[in-house]
Amino acid sequence: MNEQKTFEHIPKIDDLKKSIKKLKECDLSKIGFGKLWQILENEFGIIPFLKRDLVNIEVDRVRINRNIGEIFTSENQISYREDVKNIEKFGRANSPFQSMFYGAISTKEIKYSRITSLIETSEIFRDIPNNRMTDAYFLMTLGKWTITKPITVIDLIFNKKNIEDIEDIKISHEKGRKIIAEQYPNNVEQIELILEFFSDEFAKENIKTHNDYKISCIYSHIALNQGINGIIYPSVRTKALGYNIGLTPSSVDYSLNLTKAAMFKIEKVKDNTYVKNYKLALDLGNYNTDFKWKDAEK
């Protein structure tokens, strides 16, 4: 949890509910990023986190090949974006001109986290309701990293629907409540309400413009400013069955090791999707700059 010595500035529960109602009704495109940040800190009095330490787990990140002939041959082509001047919009955890490493980690419901990453990355799969009967054929390149040095992330586990639907999130939520009760014995209700609000922002489905990500982005910024390495949160596109991870580039460089790369052929025919092994690179060259692609086993 976020370390705090005094909690006298935490508002009463009714005042918090009023603030949250106003924030949810606000058109975020009409309020500046800095002003919104100030409002959140002033009206909540505290920005709490549930922290989780990660090490020795795998992270999958997918990049869609623009055409069949495009081949990636180095880590920097499939890792976090370096063209920050072209990052013009807010994401769930990044502001414009800020790069974050977005990937996926496995869950009990989705063992192969490349599926989560594919669904989050591909424009077709990100909007399945409108693309259900759309046919598509393309290549995707997968990078598989291992977290070799411990990192600390914040976990967004207080969205009520996710708690009801996903057993592992329910278990994590129960553990989180115990931590809150220990560290905030006189403010449990307020802290849980604030965490639920931010979890709801990371679970927001109806995104009209990139401005709708401002609140989740501010929450991420506050955590990163305190030395936290990133965030993990249930994947909206997989109905919380999968789990996303967002890390700072420096955390990736220091704590993650790329172990292999793979290419897959993705074929979508109406309601059916086929994922086929295509190429595999276990030899990544000096400092991961020269992938040696070989045909994958069928």
| Nearest partner of 198 among 8, 19, 11, judged by Cα | 19
Is residue 83 a part of any domain in this protein? yes
Is residue 45 a part of any domain in this protein? no
Please give the C-alpha separations between residue 23 and each of 17, 18, 201, 279, in angstroms, as whole numbers: 10, 9, 11, 48
Is residue 137 a part of any domain in this protein? yes
Specify whether the CB–CB gap between 195 and 154 falls below 8 A: no
Is residue 188 a part of any domain in this protein? no
For residue range 258-275, list pLDDT tens digits in order. Answer: 999 999 999 999 889 999
For residue range 187-226, list pLDDT tens digits in order. Answer: 999 999 999 999 999 999 989 999 999 999 999 999 999 9
| Nearest partner of 173 among 102, 103, 234, 109, judged by Cα | 234
Residue 215's SS3 state is helix
For 91, residues 6+ apart whose C-beta sits below 8 A from its C-beta are: 100, 102, 210, 213, 217
Amino acid identity of residue 229, one-letter, is N
Q: How many domains does the chain have?
A: 1
Is residue 239 a part of any domain in this protein? no
For residue range 82-141, list pLDDT tens digits in order. Answer: 999 999 999 999 999 999 999 999 999 999 999 999 999 998 898 888 888 889 999 999
Question: What is the dihedral sign for C-alpha 78, 84, 90, 94?
Answer: positive
Is residue 275 a part of any domain in this protein? yes
Does the pTM surpass 0.85? The reply is yes
Is residue 35 a part of any domain in this protein? no
Inter-helix orientation angle 13-25/33-44, to 10° = 160
Which residue range is the domain that position 103 belongs to?
52-150+251-295
